[in-house]
Amino acid sequence: MSSFVFAWYSLCRQPARAVLAIAGVAVIGALLFDMLLLSQGMLISFRGLLGEVGFDARVMATSSMPMTGARVGDAAATAAAIEALEEIEVVIPMRIDQAEVVLSERRPMDFTLVGSISGHGAWTVIDGADINQRKADGDASTIVVNRNLASALNLSPGQTVTVRSECLGRRSILPTVEFEVVGIATFPFDSESQLTAAATIADFDRACGGEQDQADLFLVASRSRVTAEAAVEAIQQLRPDLYVFSNDQLVDRFERVGFSYFRQISTVLATVTLTFAFLLISVLLSVSVNQRFAEIAALRAIGFGRRRVAADLVWESGLMVSIGGVLALPLGLALAIWLDRILKSMPGIPADLHFFVVQPQAVLLHIALLATAGALAAGYPVYLASRLPIASTLRNEVVG
Amino acid sequence: MSTPVVEASGLTKTFPMPAGPVTALRQVSLRVDPGEYVAVSGPSGCGKSTLLHLLGSVDTPTSGTLRFEGEEISALTDARRSQIRLTRIGFVFQRFYLLPMLTAWENVELPQGEAGIGKAERRERTAELLDYVGLAHRAQHRPSQLSGGEMQRVAVARALANRPRLLLADEPTGELDEKTGEQIAELLDRVHADGNAIVVVTHDATIARRAGCQLRMHDGIIMPEGSG
């Protein structure tokens, strides 16, 4: 009978202990799995989100987040100069500010107004049409709204909204501007409950009281033959006064500044869960070995070597950890989905950003860490069993 | 003259105790030849079980030498001694020590598998042994489904599984009633009659009388014949 089969019989012999151990490992393993997903998830998701938008560099006036720092002046000329670089394919200036929809029968509703150029992926129209430049003074300004704003105001393409912009951080005294809603769009960095709309830069400026020629940031796409780093370097040489970041640099910065807390928390909690797994298996196996001292001594007496006794226990630990570890994966996944939903409800977190992202590396690391914990946990029981004095154990058992 | 199965010379065993060392065995010399049936009896604490454990190499003497089929075993590694116990010595315990999660068949097959015997041979030998001890019909029963006498018979079958040169039995009837003990004694007689060397430690005078050689121990010493 192989050690594996023997361990399986030993496990089945005490079903309550086995269920307790496996359930314990499954719960602890689920937490460990979630911590491993959390340790990288947000970074992976953030990188993916940046990549999905289709731009590989961002240009800003300061190193602060957009809307929190100074704006770039001479936006049109700056965009044109950057776009003229041979490394650059396209440059999209972006203005972002707060505005409100003026409603006749209730309080105004605040939303984020984006001013940019249509058709480049800064948003995606899912119903109706995209915004377009007014051709004559009498033409209506057009706007696309996100689902949240559309459903909050029951808007659909063809309707009109009255908007008052909050440019330069204070309520504008300028007259309100009428916008025709031409479409419903999704914005990649919107949070779950965010209200957002986008208009052309000209219409954005009109809402802000006239031409401002400023940009909060420029989204830059490099040519396919050029790396993002080369594009960043070229822009930096052209405009050393501006801050230019590739997607990787943004992710690195995010990892160092905002994400390090998550990594530290996940490392601490992963260590704690592993320690729990180690203690649980070690205690249960040690108790089991203590209860079976006489039986182990008898096995040794009939010729089972120390290695064989050790192998039986390592397999028993391995079975508990592997069954519990496998159960931990779906359990951890369900827990991750639930926790992700809770964390994403924090204000300002993009709805498409995930805190927990399943990666093959995380699954492999989960398996490796649990296997190591299981092997280490078997250490003390193995020591007890293999060093058991056969004769005195048999003698004490009979006398006892 | 054939090589003795086991030969002890001047065996002494001292146990360290908090109140001072206790000598359980004093200069014991003993020789068991192939096919010999030796019974060791004596009062509790006289050193019988200690002697049996030393003969079975589950313990090492404090001094003295022990040869198993001519091989000095006191100085062997633990792994080598385990191998000798597995293939050349059979153990029968007072409390049977069958593995409760295994059937009678699996308990008897277990040491054969550990010794590396092939599946077909194991099957044949296990069936033969269960038949030998009269439990072929109980092969698929677990120890909890067997009586004490049946468990001890399975334990004897397990001890014989690897065709040992020496069968060691420590109070084999100690947990059994008189009638069942008698059946086990008869089984040991058969094992002996089939040519096996047996050393049995027992309080039971009826078992001791069945042995060709009866030794009486007192205070760690084998008493001279006629002294007890």
Is A305 within 8 Å of B170 when comparing Cβ atoms? no
pLDDT tens, residue by residue, A216-230: 889 888 888 888 888
A20–chain B nearest CA distance, Å:
19
pLDDT at A76: 86
The residue among A1, A9, A291, A302 with the most chain B CBs within 10 A of its CB, best to mutate, is A302
pLDDT tens, residue by residue, A305-342: 989 988 988 888 888 889 998 999 999 999 999 998 88
DSSP for B190-209, written as a single string: HHHHTT-EEEEE-S-HHHHH
Amino acid at B157: A
Output phi, psi for A101, to 5 deg: -90, 125
Query: Where exactly are the structural domains of chain A?
Result: 3-50+258-399, 62-241
Q: How far apart are CA A175 and CA B147, in angstroms?
A: 100
Residue of A nearest to B106 (CA): A1
Residues on chain B touching A10 (C-beta within 8 angstroms): 101
pLDDT at B228: 47
Give the count of domains, chain B: 1
Which structure tokens are listed for A228?
Answer: 């993002």
CB-based contact, B53 to chain A, within 8 Å: yes
Are the beta carbons of B164 and B89 closer than 8 angstroms?
yes
B159–chain A nearest CA distance, Å:
8
Residues 296-355 of A with CB under 8 A from B: 298-308
Are the beta carbons of B148 and B120 closer than 8 angstroms?
no
Q: Indicate whether B226 pLDDT > 80.
A: no
Cα B33–Cα B37–Cα B41 angle in degrees, nearest 5: 120
Which structure tokens are listed for A262?
Answer: 């998550």
Which structure tokens are listed for A183?
Answer: 């479409």
Is B159 within 8 Å of A302 when comparing Cβ atoms? yes
pLDDT at B182: 86
Which structure tokens are listed for A151?
Answer: 């459903």
Are the beta carbons of B117 and B129 closer than 8 angstroms?
no
CB-based contact, B150 to chain A, within 8 Å: no
Is B50 within 8 Å of A397 when comparing Cβ atoms? no
Is B85 within 8 Å of A302 when comparing Cβ atoms? yes
Residues on chain B touching A300 (C-beta within 8 angstroms): 58, 82
Predicted TM-score (pTM) of the model is 0.73
For residue B92, is it left (φ>0), alpha (ψ between -120 and 50) or beta? beta
Is B93 within 8 Å of A395 when comparing Cβ atoms? no
Is B110 within 8 Å of A308 when comparing Cβ atoms? no
Structural domain including B34 reads 6-222
Mapped onto helix, strand or coil, the DSSP state of residue B189 is helix
The two counts, helices (H) then strands (E), for chain B are: 7, 10
The residue among B11, B22, B82, B102 with the most chain A CBs within 10 A of its CB, best to mutate, is B82
Residue A235, number of CB atoms within 10 A of its CB: 25
Is B78 within 8 Å of A298 when comparing Cβ atoms? no
Q: B67 pairs with which residues across the strands?
A: B7, B72
CB-based contact, B183 to chain A, within 8 Å: no
Residue B69 lies in a domain: yes
Residues on chain B touching A299 (C-beta within 8 angstroms): 97, 99
Q: Indicate whether A262 pLDDT > 60.
A: yes
3-state secondary structure chain A: CCHHHHHHHHHHHCHHHHHHHHHHHHHHHHHHHHHHHHHHHHHHHHHHHHHHHCCCEEEECCCCCCCCCCCECCHHHHHHHHHCCCCEEEEEEEEEEEEEEECCCCCCEEEEEEEECCCCCCCEEEEECCCCCCCCCCCCEEEEECHHHHHHCCCCCCCEEEEEECHHHCCCCCCCEEEEEEEEEECCCCECCCCEEEEEHHHHHHHCCCCCCCECEEEEEECCCCCHHHHHHHHHHHCCCCEEEEHHHHHHHHHHHCCHHHHHHHHHHHHHHHHHHHHHHHHHHHHHHHHCHHHHHHHHHCCCCHHHHHHHHHHHHHHHHHHHHHHHHHHHHHHHHHHHHHHHCCCCCECCCCCCCCCHHHHHHHHHHHHHHHHHHCHHHHHHHHCCCHHHHHHHHHHC
Residue B227 lies in a domain: no
pLDDT tens, residue by residue, A79-99: 889 888 888 888 988 888 888
pLDDT tens, residue by residue, B82-118: 999 999 999 998 888 899 889 999 999 999 999 999 9
Q: How far apart are CA A182 and CA A290, in angstroms?
A: 76
pLDDT tens, residue by residue, A242-252: 889 888 888 88
Residues on chain B touching A302 (C-beta within 8 angstroms): 85-86, 90-91, 111, 158-159
Q: Using the Cα atoms of residue A144, residue A147, residue A152 and residue A155 in order, give the sign of their dihedral.
A: positive
Which structure tokens are listed for A200?
Answer: 């052309």
Is B114 within 8 Å of A304 when comparing Cβ atoms? yes
Residue of B nearest to A295 (CA): B97
Residue of A nearest to B51 (CA): A391
Residue B1 lies in a domain: no
Amino acid at A235: I
Q: How far apart are CA A244 and CA A246, in angstroms?
A: 7
Which structure tokens are listed for A241?
Answer: 């006064």
Which structure tokens are listed for A155?
Answer: 């808007």
Nearest to B83 among A13, A301, A303 (CB): A303
Q: Using the Cα atoms of residue A146, residue A152, residue A157 and residue A162 in order, give the sign of their dihedral.
A: negative
- CATH (domain of B198): 3.40.50.300
Q: How far apart are CA A249 and CA A82, in angstroms?
A: 19
Nearest to B82 among A304, A391, A394 (CB): A304
Residue B81 lies in a domain: yes
Please give the C-alpha separations between residue B102 and each of A12, A233, A392, B139, in angstroms, as whole numbers: 11, 73, 25, 10
Which structure tokens are listed for B124?
Answer: 């044949």
B189–chain A nearest CA distance, Å:
21
Are the beta carbons of A288 and A14 closer than 8 angstroms?
yes
Are the beta carbons of B142 and B96 closer than 8 angstroms?
no
Q: Give the pLDDT band (50/70/90) at residue A21.
A: confident
pLDDT at B139: 93
List the beta strands (DSSP E) in chain B: 6-15, 22-32, 37-41, 63-68, 71-72, 89-92, 166-170, 197-201, 213-218, 221-222
B44–chain A nearest CA distance, Å:
10
Nearest to B114 among A308, A391, A394 (CB): A308
In 3D space, the residue among B86, B99, B213 whose CA is nearest the CA of residue B155 turns out to be: B99
Bridge pairing between strands B197-201 and B37-41: parallel
- Overall average pLDDT of the A199-218 stretch: 82
- Determine what percent of chain A is predicted with pLDDT higher than 90: 10
Nearest to A9 among B50, B101, B115 (CB): B101
Is A390 within 8 Å of B59 when comparing Cβ atoms? yes
In 3D space, the residue among A106, A27, A92 whose CA is nearest the CA of residue A56 turns out to be: A92
Q: Indicate whether A261 pLDDT > 90.
A: no
Nearest to B97 among A298, A308, A392 (CB): A298
Is A391 within 8 Å of B53 when comparing Cβ atoms? yes
What is the distance of C-alpha A118 from the center of its chain?
Answer: 28
Residues 162-181 of B with CB under 8 A from A: 162, 170-171, 174
Does A67 or A241 have the greater pLDDT score? A241
Are the beta carbons of B10 and B64 closer than 8 angstroms?
yes
**B157: exposed, middle or buried (Cβ count in 10 Å: 0-12, 13-18, 19+):** buried
